[in-house]
Amino acid sequence: MRRVVCLSTLIFLASACGPDDTGPGADTGLSGVDSTEGGSGDGDDDAEPFVPVPARGITITGVSANHGINVFIAEGDQWVDGGGRIGRLASGRDTLIRVYHEIDEGWVERDIEARLEITLPGGEVVEFKAQKTIVTDTSDKYLEGGLWFALPEAEGYTDPAVKFQVSLWEVEPGGEAMEEHVTVSPASGPELIGFENIPMQMNVVYVPFTYNGTNPDVGDAAKMEIINNEIYQTEPIQQLNTVIDDVRPNGAQFDVCSMLQTMSQIWSQAGAPSNVYYVGLVDTGASSGTMGCALINANFNADVWVNNSMGITATSIVHEIGHNQGLNHVECDDMGNPSAGNDPSYPDHPEGRTLNTGFGIRDFKMYPGDTTIDYMSYCNKRWVSPWTWAKVWSRIQTFTAQGSPIIVDPEPVMRFGMYPSGSTSWFTALERLDPERVPSGNARVDFILDGEVIAREPAMLDTLSDDVSVWVTARMPNGDPEAEFDAVRYVASDGEIHEARRDDVSFFTQIDPQ
């Protein structure tokens, strides 16, 4: 069985082109779709309808699938299998199929019809058609810079078994004197697009805080949509599950890194779920400086809510969740504010360019690889690179979406925080400590009762995402979240000592959940 669907190149979810078509968007009522089927005359003087023939003077150079990063699934007329691709494709995710072309010298400007043949798992073939006036080669700078098709996941077009083949056709005179090149790809016949059938989800709890009488406007659905869309677009997921927590009257600070203590304890009180990210939101009135803070490989962060620029808020949250997913900074300095702790393995280090044109499946924007920077940088014009996409994919699949196969119950720890302002804090939390992690030199934490050291634990040091703040972590004595002691002392490797009374320690088991 074959269905033919004519697509408008002006909308993402396009309308069908006939009353019997059931292609994507057939019931949307959107207009602007022209049928490319041949017509018939009604008199002897009518011109004969143009019979489509393979296009001339134009070459298919590649076909890509893009729902975050641009993955070439064909190069020229050759299919690209999974081993030759720059990244992975998630099933159940709206996808842009783009046909890349080059035109010959002496090209005659005219309409060209692109056809995308989709073979569904049951064997049904759906043929999509789209026409565009071709003036120049494909451009990645904007969506209409090339021929494209939308595959809405709701229609089943992103199933792992779906196959594709594209072709280019003449639909009007003008190319008769030109040569025919590659106009069908893959030449071997329909091949798999390559969507992977792996559950990929993220769960986020937003925790708003009151600061100087001001609360983040989390009740504004449009503002929250901007944040959620930014997360969804840049993460290889099929589903984003979100919850907005009650406003916290206490715990907000201008320095968001100092807020991580509270975020850590809120996450701990919730049972330290390994597949849920807790995002603290505070409206400090700032719109520059340190806009977010996180602990690498953790499940909590804190971000400044910029009420008049939700784009800043959204990109900050994506950046800090990236730290939670184990990502370090990508070097880039277009604002005179270079990051520290940069990952030297980033492939385009130090410029930070993605060198891959992404596509936003919610904002329908192109993110050209020659001007867009990886979102783990401090630069503007941020998007996800294939390098980050791959790292995040592994994290989401193993730890966030499905849970880790080596998951263990979290254990209570003592933490000591040191911040650039000179302030310090002692607090307890839950943590899943890496059993293979080596302690930081001979640094230790002593627990003291009646003047005697009753427990001595090796200390591990972590630098927060501001590259300055430091957390010291040690196990609680006997795994007791409220172990008995009078005082606690951190002894650094260089001999520096910080000590606090029990009354100065904030226990996560005792904080007010509201």
Q: Which domains does the chain have, with CATH numbers?
A: 53-192 (2.60.40), 201-402 (3.40.390.10), 411-504 (no CATH)
CA atoms of 425 and 415, how far apart (whole Å): 8
Average pLDDT over residues 323-331: 94
Check pLDDT > 70 for residue 41.
Answer: no
Residue 192 pLDDT: 98
Residue 5 pLDDT: 59
CA atoms of 335 and 316, how far apart (whole Å): 15
- Percent of the chain residues topping a pLDDT of 70: 87
pLDDT in tens, 162-211: 999 999 999 999 999 999 999 999 999 999 999 999 999 999 999 999 99
- Percent of the chain residues topping a pLDDT of 90: 79
pLDDT in tens, 50-86: 999 999 999 999 999 999 999 999 999 999 999 999 9
pLDDT in tens, 132-146: 999 999 999 999 999
Residue 434 pLDDT: 87
The C-alpha R_g of the chain, in whole angstroms, comes to: 28
Whether omega for the bond prior to residue 186 falls within 30 degrees of 0, making it cis, is yes
CA atoms of 270 and 45, how far apart (whole Å): 79
Start-to-end CA distance of the chain, whole Å, equals 59
CA atoms of 511 and 23, how far apart (whole Å): 55
Check pLDDT > 70 for residue 31.
Answer: no
Cα–Cα nearest to 230, from 135, 317, 155: 317
Residue 402 pLDDT: 57
Check pLDDT > 70 for residue 289.
Answer: yes
Banded pLDDT at 338 (limits 50, 70, 90):
confident
Residue 6 pLDDT: 54
Residue 94 pLDDT: 97
CA atoms of 472 and 152, how far apart (whole Å): 47
Residue 402's region, left for phi above 0, alpha for psi from -120 to 50, else beta, is alpha
Residue 403 pLDDT: 60
Residue 3 pLDDT: 66
CA atoms of 89 and 71, how far apart (whole Å): 8
pLDDT in tens, 221-231: 999 999 999 99
Average pLDDT over residues 152-165: 96
Residue 401 pLDDT: 62
Which residue has tokens 């018939």? 40
Q: Is the pTM here over 0.95, yes or no?
A: no
Lowest mean pLDDT, pick from 63-72, 339-348, 494-503: 339-348
**DSSP string covering 469-482:** -EEEEEEPGGG-TT
Average pLDDT, the chain: 89
Residue 514 pLDDT: 64
CA dihedral 442, 445, 449, 450 (to 10 degrees): 60
Lowest mean pLDDT, pick from 186-190, 329-333, 485-489: 329-333
pLDDT in tens, 352-382: 899 999 999 999 999 999 999 999 998 888 9
CA atoms of 489 and 504, how far apart (whole Å): 12
Lowest mean pLDDT, pick from 4-18, 125-139, 301-315, 340-354: 4-18
pLDDT in tens, 76-123: 999 999 999 999 999 999 999 999 999 999 999 999 999 999 999 999
Which residue has tokens 């940088």? 377
At residue 302, φ and ψ (nearest 5 deg) are -135, 140
Banded pLDDT at 11 (limits 50, 70, 90):
very low
The H or E element containing residue 451 is none
Check pLDDT > 50 for residue 422.
Answer: yes
Who's near 321: CB < 8 A, 6+ residues apart?
A: 204, 231, 277, 279, 294, 301
Q: Could you tell me whether strands 58-66 and 70-75 are parallel, antiparallel, or unpaired per DSSP bridges?
A: antiparallel
Banded pLDDT at 10 (limits 50, 70, 90):
very low
